[in-house]
Amino acid sequence: MQTGYYAAAAGMVTQFNRLNTVANNLANVNTNGYKQDNLITGDFMRVYKNSRDNLPDANNTSKASAFYQRALSGVPRIVDSYTNQQVGTMQKTGNPLDFALSKEGLFFLVKTPDGLQLTRDGSFTTNTQGDLVTKQGYEVLDRNKQPIHFSLQNSVITADKNGQLSVNIPGTSKFAQSSSLFIAAPDNLRALKKTGDNLYAYSNVKSLKADTASNGVKQGFIEKSNVNAVKMMVKLIQANRMVNMYQKVMTTQMNDLNQDAINKLASTKA
Q: Give per-residue pLDDT as tens, 149-160.
A: 998 777 789 999
Per the rule left: phi > 0, alpha: psi between -120 and 50, beta: everything else, 215 is left
Between CA 4 and CA 122 the distance in angstroms is: 50
**Arithmetic mean of pLDDT over the chain:** 85
For residue 242, what pLDDT is reported?
87
Residue 71's pLDDT band, with cuts at 50, 70 and 90, is very low
pLDDT digits (tens, 9 = 90+) for 161-182: 999 999 988 778 788 999 999 9
User: Which DSSP string do the residues of the chain spell out, in sequence order?
Assistant: --HHHHHHHHHHHHHHHHHHHHHHHHHTTTSTT---EEEEEE-HHHHHHHHGGGSSS-SSSHHHHHHHHHHS-SS-EEEEEEE------EEE---TTBEEE-STT-EEEEEETTEEEEES--B-EE-TTSBEE-TT-PEEBBTTS-B-B--TT---EEE-TT-EEEEEPTTSS-EEEEEEB-EE--S-GGG-EEEETTEEE-TTGGG----TT---EEETEEEPP---HHHHHHHHHHHHHHHHHHHHHHHHHHHHHHHHHHHHHHT---
Mean pLDDT of 22-32: 95
pLDDT category at 113 given cuts 50, 70, 90 is very high
Helix axes 3-27, 229-266, angle to 10 degrees: 160
What's the whole-number mean pLDDT along residues 79-86? 88
| pTM exceeds 0.85 | no
Q: Which residue has the higher pLDDT, 58 or 135?
A: 135
Average pLDDT (66-94) is: 77
